[in-house]
Each structure stands twice: as C-alpha cells, then as structure tokens.
Amino acid sequence: MNITSLTKKQVAKSIVPQLEEEAYNMSLQTGLLKNYMPSSPITTHLVHNGFIPDIITTEENGETNIYEIQLNNKIDTERWNFFARYTKERHGTLHIIVPESNLSAAEKVIAEKDIRNIKLMYVPN
C-alpha cells in the first residue's frame, strides 16, 4: 500500500534532472522514465536472479550510485543490503527515497539490520 499519493515515476522525474545537472560524464539508467535505457538486473554468483534498481548512475571513473524509491511500507532489506554492498564495491552509495511519514521506520530498519553505505532521503507527503 502506498503511503503517499506520489508515484515512482513522479519522484524519478524530480530526481533525474538534478542528477544529470550535477554530473559530467555519467550514464544514467532507469525504467521509470521514457528516453532512458532501463537497467538490467544486477546479479552476483550468490544472487542469480538479481535486482533491478529504480535508478542507477555510473560515473566515468566507475563510481556507481543506486537510487531506490520506496513509497510503500514494505521494506525489502535483502534488496537494500545487496545494493548497499554493490555500490560500496564501486565507490558509490545506495540512496533510499521514502515518504517523510516513513522516514523513522526506514531509519529503524537500517539501524536494526546494520545496513551500511546508505543515504536516506525523503519526499514530503
């Protein structure tokens, strides 16, 4: 159940232009917006099916950042842990975007599950 009237597409529309403005030679993939190449699933030898990030950016130097938009209250800690490790290995960060009303719940899960290399962001309700 979404806890905000926003959609992932609307959030992506506000984030993507800012990301493109801040970066020089960056590739950006997202299946949320037209005119962008969707990301393929990210897999490892342990996670064969993988996960598809909402938005993934890769700088020319290889730094990789993932932006996950979590608008409902079903938090997938396996996915967050996987993306956090993946971006850390590539000198980037996992950015989680949640509605303001879900901020404390997300902070609690991150602390309880000891998820590192993560930045929590919020959108107003």
Tokens of 21: 């403005």
Residue 90: what pLDDT?
97
The CA distances from residue 92 to 33, 49, 56, 68, 83, in Å, are 22, 22, 10, 14, 10
**Residue ranges of the chain whose pLDDT lies below 70:** 1-4, 47
Its sign, for the CA torsion 104, 102, 81, 68, is: negative
Q: Are 86 and 64 in contact (CB under 8 A)?
A: yes
Task: Return the pLDDT at 24.
Answer: 75
Single pTM value for the model: 0.92
- The label of the residue with tokens 């980037």 reads 92
pLDDT at residue 17 in the model: 94
Alpha helices in 1-125 (DSSP H): 8-22, 77-89, 103-112
